[in-house]
Structure 1
């Protein structure tokens, strides 16, 4: 049943996305997760921080799994699972955010910077057009893995409890999984568990991108450059995307005013990129989404 529900959730997400009329009136589940994690950060990020961080993550995982089980047990539980899955997938919203960068660049670099600042954590004030395009494409690849393939994978594996556990861990990592004095110990468990939950989906994403375009070049770039990324997982979809588009990604950038000299991914690829390459990346997202939907349909039927 999970495959059929996943297919329905994917279709609903692709059509509806995140309607403003709804989420302007009630808080999105991801917002509620964020509030809960924020409260835990305030209350428990003291004393033995590593120990408390582990306990918080265990509590979040147990609570998310229990909530999923309870919802699935309700009357019409399959329907609530389908709706929950659609809400927690992010294909359409990801495409809209990446497209906004391309649309902004059409008006000028300033608008492009403002749009890309909504989806990346690096400094954007000094970005030129190629840097904006690289940031948008990298975000498209990484968030396709984190926001579409990984939640779909865990929904397929564990139903609504599976996707809820994944999303709350991923949200915790995005909030407290940083190597800062405040969060290095407290957020360690969230960051490591997020790495574990994304290990398989990140590699599936890279394979799907290469498969969707039958691209040997993507396979070569993944083999050579996926391990260069500072994340154990994000380099895989990013390298595959770079190979399919034949563009150079990653490279030097600035965080909080400090320049970081990261290695290039597919360094021989095109570096003078812009709107056209961003929109080609969006086409990649939809093509791979279609491949995933087709595979899910086959699973649902057989």
Structure 2
């Protein structure tokens, strides 16, 4: 059985769905969220868990035969960064403790494409040394720390670490007004028959539809063998605002959507993730492009608030 902490969040739920589709038994944990997405109802075991509670975490091993762990649980930073770092570090260490205690095969943990900030080479690949540039958000700072904490904690344990440098993921279950991704708020405005603020056509960046991200993580977790400990998880393609607007027009025809020419801040290139390593090791290829992802998301939002 594969354990996914934070398994009712956006990425966790889509990872669980992909693992179930691959024929695996899955247990997901959630701290505050109780509603199970319709596509997981009756297909996974749900455990309420505060990952900062070490005893409760380890007790999961008494109830389930855990073979692998995907650690995606996280908190939301507030005004006190120390409290945020303390909570998420304790949760990570408890998950690592469980991995060693149970002797699981693999421990996959969420990092971020943000760890590459400061590198000018595009696309960003796992072979790039991580820069010492200042990062813009506490979440990225924590993700950057997650990587050595995980690899050093599992060294000599027999548990293989998998560092998931996850790209800009969006889709079903994401906050429709999320400040971290431009796509759900843009679609939400159109669904309300509002005129969204015009975007510059050539601006863009990394983008991955949540079902694709979940399938990539599932494939990495269950692959027979992996050569590396670190993998980019995304679509492997640059997504522009022009792609977004054209896809929305196709899914919701008749809406008046404006595009501004060029780039907001002048010439340049937007970063995105190279997924050659992921694809060569697992055979992963994204199932969704901009048009099919937007169409699927609009259909989902017809019956779901997020």
TM-score by length of 2: 0.35
Q: Which has the higher helix share?
A: 1
Q: Which has the higher contact order (CA 8 A, sep 6+)?
A: 1
